[in-house]
Amino acid sequence: MRIAITPPLKFLEKLRRVLLLLLLLGNLSAALACTGTPQVSEITVFNADRAFRDLEYQVQLGPRIPGSSAHEQVRAWLISINKQSGWEMEAQSVIYQGNEIHNIIAKREIDQHLPWIIIGAHYDSRIIADRDPLPENRSKPVPGANDGASGVAVLNEIARILPADLQVNIWLVYFDAEDNGSMPGGEWILGSRAFVEKLKGTPDAVIVVDMVADRDLNIYIEQNSNEDLAAEVWSVAKSLGYEDTFINQPKYHIIDDHIPFIQAGIPAIDIIDFEYRYWHTVSDTVDKVSADSLGIVGRVVVAWLLEKYGEDN
């Protein structure tokens, strides 16, 4: 494990430099977006509107229930668009506890001696809206605008804009079968469990994003998460002025795709807004979520990566 706490002064000083660059170059992001893989010297900005279009696309495909054609289509789409962004793609298909699991992995490997970071999100959506207030809706599928599509949208946009010369190996992992627990033959977080079981080597840190597009975004420190890593990320969020969204208080213990990593001794956090009233209902739809929220979370994750693995480090 290589997560070290940077001394606060050095940390803030470096972060200020990153922020300055982000501000100076913010208006160039659109121009740079179409010029191929960006370098650290031409930092691009997380484009929240483009990320939001990815969210809308997934919802429009229909519920991404394992075994459905929308589930298959989203996998093909993820492989295609991330290839276009210059990432090496792997489709990991395994049978895990009797379930067919299809994780999609985007890899950017620079040098095996450098640190290795995983950013993850689940792409499946829940087969039944079992928390819907109306009993007649509880056998219907969840549209998964926030619960599923939002994390994927953040990863896709990170894939587009992340500078290629960061001093780190990065995998973006789209987990299957996170959200079909509590059903006959179903369990939670199957995709990430299967992934960690097959994992060779030890990533230095894992950040999972899930349910990050609520219009009223409130992200507390999830209490199963690695404390040091959470402190770093929440500190970056504060420096970006997002302390009202990334609330620096522990709240909730959540079973999400970070858990198999933590159980394997790998530092991992879950960035999740668990105060979403449409969670596991048929109302988890595009009108309940926003590009601004995706942008906040995306910028925080990118700023953390730049701060730790940018050219000055």
Q: Which residues bind Zn ion (CB under 5 A)?
A: 147, 179
Distance CA 37, CA 303 (A): 17
* Shorter beta-carbon distance to Zn ion: residue 43 or 269: 269
Minimal CA–CA distance to 299: which of 220, 245, 228? 245
* Shorter beta-carbon distance to Zn ion: residue 189 or 305: 189
* Shorter beta-carbon distance to Zn ion: residue 276 or 309: 276
Give the shortest CB-284-to-Zn ion separation in angstroms. Answer: 8
* Shorter beta-carbon distance to Zn ion: residue 125 or 169: 125
* Shorter beta-carbon distance to Zn ion: residue 124 or 307: 124
Give the shortest CB-196-to-Zn ion separation in angstroms. Answer: 19
Give the contacts of 288 (CB within 8 A, at least 6 positions apart): 145, 146, 214, 215, 276, 278
Give the shortest CB-67-to-Zn ion separation in angstroms. Answer: 17
* Shorter beta-carbon distance to Zn ion: residue 234 or 279: 279
DSSP character for 275?
A: -
Q: Are 128 and 12 in contact (CB under 8 A)?
A: no
Per the DSSP assignment, residues forming a β-bridge with 102 are 93
Give the shortest CB-57-to-Zn ion separation in angstroms. Answer: 19
Give the shortest CB-277-to-Zn ion separation in angstroms. Answer: 13
Give the shortest CB-280-to-Zn ion separation in angstroms. Answer: 6
Supply the Cα-derived Rg of the chain in whole angstroms: 18
* Shorter beta-carbon distance to Zn ion: residue 38 or 144: 144
Give the shortest CB-11-to-Zn ion separation in angstroms. Answer: 34
Give the shortest CB-54-to-Zn ion separation in angstroms. Answer: 18
Q: Are 152 and 166 in contact (CB under 8 A)?
A: no
Q: Are 242 and 154 in contact (CB under 8 A)?
A: no
* Residue 34 backbone phi and psi in degrees, to 5: -105, 15
* Shorter beta-carbon distance to Zn ion: residue 147 or 257: 147
Give the contacts of 73 (CB within 8 A, at least 6 positions apart): 61
What is the CB-side half-sphere exposure of residue 64 using CA atoms within 13 A? 34
User: Exposed (0-12), middle (13-18) or buried (19+): which is 302, by Cβ within 10 Å?
Assistant: buried
Angle between helices 8-25 and 227-239 (to 10 degrees): 50
